[in-house]
Amino acid sequence: MHITASAVSLNVADPTASAEFLKRHYGFSEDMAADGFVSVSRPDAGFSVVFLRTGLSSFKPESAKGHADGLLLAFVVDDIDAQYERVRAEGVAITTPIETEPWGERYFQTADPNGVIIQLVQWMTAPEEAAAQAAQS
């Protein structure tokens, strides 16, 4: 198998609002849009984010028609403090202020207009070191 592209698809009440949030505050660009969905991406993200209007008739099985609850979109950055200040200056509500975990993960969270959690993360130690520290805890 050869995968040529990757995407995360999320069911939300207002796909345009979620897409505009990622475009305005996180530098995404719109790839395509039609009635009921918007696809956005960044060249450095490695995948697209597709927002689908909750309840679209094209969803099979029916269980896929629900809202995207209990998940978050996480993006690793190398300047977490600067990003935190930038997002705050843009007036974005911070749902979780900057925290640093014992294993070296430093992050904060925001929520888009549909409640999708966006998390920016910076690893303060190399991922291998972080995994070893977490295993010792």
Local confidence pLDDT in tens for the 137 residues of the chain: 877 889 999 989 999 999 999 999 999 999 999 989 999 999 999 999 999 998 877 766 555 555 656 688 999 999 999 999 999 999 999 999 999 998 889 999 999 999 999 999 999 887 677 667 667 76
Is residue 37 assigned to a domain?
yes
Q: Is residue 76 part of a domain?
A: yes
Query: Does residue 107 lie within any of the structural domains?
Result: yes
The helices-and-strands tally (H runs, E runs) of the chain is 3, 8
Residue 1 domain-assigned (yes or no):
no
40 lies in a domain? yes
Domain assignment present for residue 2? The answer is: no
Domain of residue 106, residue span = 7-135
Q: Give the pLDDT score at 113.
A: 94
6-26 confidence digits (pLDDT tens): 999 998 999 999 999 999 999
Which pLDDT does position 125 carry in this prediction?
A: 82
The secondary structure of the chain in percent helix, strand, coil, rounded to multiples of 5, reads 25, 35, 40
Domain total of the chain: 1
Domain for residue 21, yes or no? Answer: yes
> Where on the phi/psi map is residue 46: left (φ > 0), alpha (ψ -120 to 50), or beta?
left
* CATH number, domain with residue 53: 3.10.180.10
Is 127 part of a structural domain of the chain? yes
Q: What's the whole-model pTM score? A: 0.81
- Residue 60 is predicted with a pLDDT of 63
